[in-house]
């Protein structure tokens, strides 16, 4: 515990103050919009009618090795998206990059990290087109039995302090590993902020923000409180709003001014499919254009989640919709056929 606290204190000392009014995330407003991919074993299995348990670490490595970074980057460039948000790990699945700190805590437990560092390769592909990369990580994760022990998950500790401190070390290593190849972080699972993050001592929002910025002081971060129709900032330690919205027609605006809400850049995140990472398009082209323009007119950026194909690229149906968004927002570089 003492060693972890010392590391966490050093981590906290790296924080760059985000309460000064500086808008690190102003580039999101300029980009206008981006795309999100939930690339996970569970979602790939669902979309391909597979048993998710059939995707073991060997199969995961095969999927990651065949992820078409260049193809995805070209698609995003064609439709004019300014950034990509992608899951490092989702719903207790596999990582898409190795992490020595995670391996340190897990010891001899079976590995769940890919051999390929997909984030590095994605950056190189996206950077050719000036597209920024944001990584999704949960503030915590759905533990398997080995992780419960390794990360000192204490059911009697309401704060789960040791678990959060150790998990932040994993995030910090990722950030240092990637440096400015990653422009930002979207931190999920901050559903009980008073219990777990609003404390003067670590772990807290400050230490989590410091972990994400350890490798890139200019990296932006958002903390997701869950689905709320009214756009809001959760803490002064974030740079943009997480903005998770299931129904973009029901967004409620209040206290927003010049693209900002309570000191944070406005960003809205929703999905074009049936749900996150899955299903056929649920909106008409007219609807998605209206929703996107509405956010941009407020000075915000809008992010649309689409289902990934097995090789990480996007299907024609969703590419057509993304092309219409880029055209409506004036960023589209290649007008796609409506046929």
**CA distances in angstroms from 234 to 65, 243, 270, listed in the order given:** 37, 10, 18
Cα–Cα distance for residue pair 36/85, rounded to 1 Å: 5
SS (H, E, C) 130-175: CCEEEEEEECCCCCCHHHHHHCCCCCCCCCCHHHHHHHHHHHHHHH
Q: Where are the beta strands (DSSP E) in the chain?
A: 33-37, 83-87, 132-138, 184-188, 220-223, 256-257, 260-261, 264-265, 267-271, 301-305
Tokens of 72: 């995805």
Cα–Cα distance for residue pair 121/181, rounded to 1 Å: 10
Tens of pLDDT along 86-99?
Answer: 999 998 889 999 99
Q: Walk across the sheet containing 260-261 and list its strands.
A: 256-257, 260-261, 264-265
Report CA 110 to chain centroid distance, whole Å: 25
pTM of the model: 0.92
245: left (phi over 0), alpha (psi -120 to 50) or beta: beta
Cα–Cα distance for residue pair 47/265, rounded to 1 Å: 33
Q: What angle do CA 304, 187, 105 make, to 5 degrees?
A: 135
Fold of 2-13+33-328: TIM Barrel (3.20.20)
Tokens of 276: 């996150």
pLDDT at residue 114, rounded to an integer: 97
pLDDT at residue 339, rounded to an integer: 42
Q: What angle do CA 114, 144, 100 make, to 5 degrees?
A: 40
Secondary structure (3-state) at 244 = strand
**φ/ψ (deg, to 5) at 269:** -125, 125
Secondary structure (3-state) at 268 = strand
Judge if the upstream peptide bond of residue 202 is cis by omega within 30 degrees of 0.
no
pLDDT at residue 46, rounded to an integer: 85
Q: What angle do CA 319, 38, 223 make, to 5 degrees?
A: 115
Cα–Cα distance for residue pair 214/14, rounded to 1 Å: 6
Cα–Cα distance for residue pair 167/152, rounded to 1 Å: 10
Secondary structure (3-state) at 13 = coil
pLDDT at residue 334, rounded to an integer: 57
- Answer yes or no: are the C-beta atoms of 69 and 124 closer than 8 Å: yes
The number of C-alpha atoms within 13 Å of 98 and in the hemisphere containing its C-beta is: 7
Task: Residue 245: name the closest of 284, 186, 302 by CA.
Answer: 302
**DSSP per residue over 187-210, as a string?**
EE----HHHHT--SSSSSHHHHHH
Report the b/e string of 132-159 with b at 16+ CB within 10 A. Answer: bbbbbbbbbbeeeeebeebbbbeeeeeb
| Structural domain spans, the chain | 2-13+33-328
Low-confidence ranges of the chain (pLDDT < 70): 1-21, 141-143, 334-339
């Amino acid at each position: 515990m003492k060693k972890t606290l010392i590391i966490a204190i050093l981590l906290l000392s790296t924080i760059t103050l985000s309460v000064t009014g500086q808008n690190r995330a102003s580039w999101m407003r300029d980009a206008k919009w981006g795309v999100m991919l939930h690339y996970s074993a569970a979602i790939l299995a669902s979309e391909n009618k597979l048993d998710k348990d059939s995707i073991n670490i060997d199969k995961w490595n095969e999927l990651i090795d065949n992820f078409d970074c260049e193809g995805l980057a070209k698609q995003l460039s064609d439709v004019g998206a300014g950034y990509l948000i992608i899951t490092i790990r989702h719903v207790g699945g596999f990582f898409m990059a190795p992490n020595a700190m995670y391996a340190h805590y897990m010891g001899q437990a079976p590995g769940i990290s890919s051999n390929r560092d997909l984030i590095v390769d994605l950056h190189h592909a996206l950077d050719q087109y000036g597209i920024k990369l944001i990584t999704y990580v949960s503030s915590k994760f759905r533990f398997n039995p080995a992780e419960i022990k390794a990360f000192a998950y204490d059911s009697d500790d309401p704060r789960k302090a040791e678990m959060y401190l150790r998990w932040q070390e994993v995030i910090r290593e990722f950030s240092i590993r990637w440096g400015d190849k990653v422009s930002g972080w979207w931190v999920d699972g901050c559903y009980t902020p008073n219990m777990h993050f609003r404390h003067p001592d670590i772990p807290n929002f400050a230490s989590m923000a410091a972990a994400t910025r350890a490798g890139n002081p200019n990296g932006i971060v958002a903390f997701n409180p869950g689905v709320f129709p009214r756009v809001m900032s959760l803490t002064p330690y974030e740079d943009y709003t997480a903005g998770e919205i299931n129904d973009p027609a029901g967004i409620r605006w209040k206290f927003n001014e010049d693209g900002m809400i309570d000191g944070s850049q406005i960003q809205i995140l929703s999905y074009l499919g049936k749900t996150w990472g899955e299903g056929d398009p649920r909106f008409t082209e007219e609807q998605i254009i209206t929703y996107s323009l509405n956010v941009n007119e407020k000075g915000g950026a809008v992010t649309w989640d689409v289902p990934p194909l097995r090789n990480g690229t996007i299907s024609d149906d969703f590419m057509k919709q993304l092309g219409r968004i880029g055209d409506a927002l004036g960023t589209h570089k290649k007008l796609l056929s409506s046929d």
